[in-house]
């Protein structure tokens, strides 16, 4: 990866940030020919709108519209609209955090280039003087890792390739990786991970990464790693299957978050668990009506093989809880019901800890990583009771699907002092400033901001 930011302002051009409500006032401060040029170009100071200005006196080289100027993301799209090269910003709103300005701008320059060369390089920002460059870089690199993983098609990102990605993340940080594959999952008592992934030619596996001082508080991160989801025997239609390369978006978000945590050297004992499977179809695929035994000992009746993510997560969560974590967080592209509730831009999360929920919501607002707390509504829990088993993986109701999925996972949580479940989308269906179409980090920047406060020195 090339340098994310310009080293210094030597030779850098200047871009002035213009909120829409300040447009008229900003134009009158420019030399008349520069102001006339901006007006003639139809510049309205919309979010990330850019106009290059002619050289004139002390005028900046370009204007960047900030629209409502709610956050630095309102200018992030300028990274691919400004001319290539190095740029400094002037007149950014005082309320914007300098480090987040750098983060947003760099995220706006992301391009997925594994299969096609980019048309151009993004403009590089000279971070504001008071920005924490190292912090901005670790956040951006973590988000880029997540986006790259999600954007990679399943043909190049099945469980074996996801394992390679985990090993690649671990090596520079001195983390250890252990893997349980294939039939060994049965020997080691991960029966639901095995059942979901056994029909694939690429063996299912549980990936575990550990890092940090064992004396520090244990932080467990569990990410759903369904590398492709055909729906199993309850097969999806073609349209529903088209984006299923992103069904490992929970794992991708957890790995991006882990990279930030390790790079920042937060004082935690990090434990990352990724159940990596392909939910494929073959003669040995698990079936509707099957009863699966879980690592925790609970039996689960399969109401639908397309509700497989909660099964692999349940075994991984049970494993994480055996080590008594101070905090357990799982992230998963789990339900369409979450998208119906909050759409693709807001990440739903669940926790029974009010203090944790409040702190995460504050972090979400601070870094413009939209999230919203959803209810662990106990009244729906009985819907999960099985008729001939302890649990059903789909439950008896047809509503509140994201809530009941969270309640299903809660049945497997024990001994964690605090638990959070994130039902994320991990995808931008359309491009927005700083958020290009494709794979996305959803909620993990907010979590990192909060974790850095919770565990920071």
Active-site positions read 236, 310
Cβ proximity of 432 and 423 under 8 Å: no
> Distance between CA 308 and CA 442 in Å, rounded?
21
> Distance between CA 370 and CA 93 in Å, rounded?
20
> Distance between CA 441 and CA 133 in Å, rounded?
20
Q: Which residues are registered as beta bridge partners of 220?
A: 271, 328
> Distance between CA 227 and CA 426 in Å, rounded?
13
Cβ proximity of 449 and 367 under 8 Å: yes
> Distance between CA 242 and CA 227 in Å, rounded?
13
> Distance between CA 417 and CA 411 in Å, rounded?
15
> Distance between CA 316 and CA 133 in Å, rounded?
35
Give the contacts of 318 (CB within 8 A, at least 6 positions apart): 294, 295, 296, 412, 414
CA 84, chain centre distance (Å): 28
> Distance between CA 394 and CA 210 in Å, rounded?
32
Cβ proximity of 177 and 170 under 8 Å: yes
Q: Which two tokens stand for residue 288?
A: 């509707």
> Distance between CA 448 and CA 438 in Å, rounded?
22
Cβ proximity of 437 and 429 under 8 Å: yes
Question: Per residue in 227-241, is it b (16+ CB within 10 Å) or e — as a string?
Answer: bbbbbbbbeeeeeee
- The residue assigned the tokens 């004082």 is 267
Give the contacts of 217 (CB within 8 A, at least 6 positions apart): 267, 268, 269, 326, 327, 455
The count of C-alpha atoms lying within 13 angstroms of the C-alpha of 347, restricted to the half-sphere facing its C-beta, is 34
CA-closest candidate to residue 409, choices 426, 422, 427: 422
Cβ proximity of 196 and 245 under 8 Å: no
Q: Report the interhelical angle of 249-264 vs 159-173 (nearest 10°).
A: 10
């Amino acid at each position: 990866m090339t340098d994310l930011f310009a080293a210094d302002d030597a030779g850098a051009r200047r871009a002035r940030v213009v909120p829409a409500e300040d447009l008229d006032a900003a134009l009158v401060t420019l030399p008349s020919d520069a102001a006339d040029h901006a007006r003639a170009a139809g510049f309205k100071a919309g979010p990330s709108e850019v106009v290059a200005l002619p050289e004139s006196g002390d005028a900046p080289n370009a204007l960047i519209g900030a629209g409502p100027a709610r956050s630095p993301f309102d200018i992030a799209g300028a990274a691919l609209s400004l001319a290539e090269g190095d740029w400094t910003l002037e007149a950014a709103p005082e309320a914007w955090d300098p480090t987040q300005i750098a983060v947003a701008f760099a995220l706006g320059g992301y391009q997925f280039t594994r299969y096609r060369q980019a048309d151009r390089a993004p403009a590089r920002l000279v971070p504001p003087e008071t920005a924490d460059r190292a912090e901005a870089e670790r956040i951006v690199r973590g988000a880029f890792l997540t986006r790259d993983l999600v954007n990679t098609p399943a043909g190049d990102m099945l469980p074996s390739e996801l394992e390679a990605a985990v090993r690649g993340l671990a090596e520079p940080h001195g983390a250890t990786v252990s893997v349980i594959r294939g039939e060994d999952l049965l020997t080691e008592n991960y029966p639901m991970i095995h059942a979901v992934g056994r029909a694939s030619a690429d063996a299912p596996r549980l990936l575990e990464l550990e890092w940090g001082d064992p004396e520090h508080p244990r932080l467990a991160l569990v990410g759903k790693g369904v590398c492709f989801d055909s729906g199993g025997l309850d097969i999806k239609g073609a349209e529903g299957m088209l984006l299923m390369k992103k069904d490992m978006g929970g794992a991708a978000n957890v790995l991006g978050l882990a990279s930030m945590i390790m790079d920042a050297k937060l004082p935690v004992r990090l434990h990352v668990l990724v159940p990596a499977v392909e939910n494929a179809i073959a003669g040995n695929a698990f079936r509707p009506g099957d009863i699966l035994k879980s690592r925790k000992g609970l039996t689960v009746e399969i109401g639908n093989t397309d509700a497989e993510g909660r099964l692999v997560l349940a075994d991984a969560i049970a494993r994480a809880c055996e080590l008594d974590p101070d905090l357990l967080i799982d992230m998963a592209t789990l339900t369409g019901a979450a998208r119906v509730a909050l759409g693709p831009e807001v990440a739903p999360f669940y926790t029974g800890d009010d203090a944790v929920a409040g702190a995460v919501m504050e972090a979400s607002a601070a870094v413009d990583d939209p999230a919203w707390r959803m209810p662990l509504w106990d009244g729906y829990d009985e819907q999960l009771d099985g008729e001939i088993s302890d649990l059903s993986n789909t439950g008896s109701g047809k509503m509140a699907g994201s809530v009941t999925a969270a309640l299903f996972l809660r049945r497997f949580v024990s001994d964690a002092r605090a638990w959070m479940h994130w039902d994320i989308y991990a995808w931008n269906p359309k491009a927005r400033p700083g958020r290009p179409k494709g794979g996305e980090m959803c909620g993990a920047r907010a979590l990192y901001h909060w974790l850095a406060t919770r565990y920071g020195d």
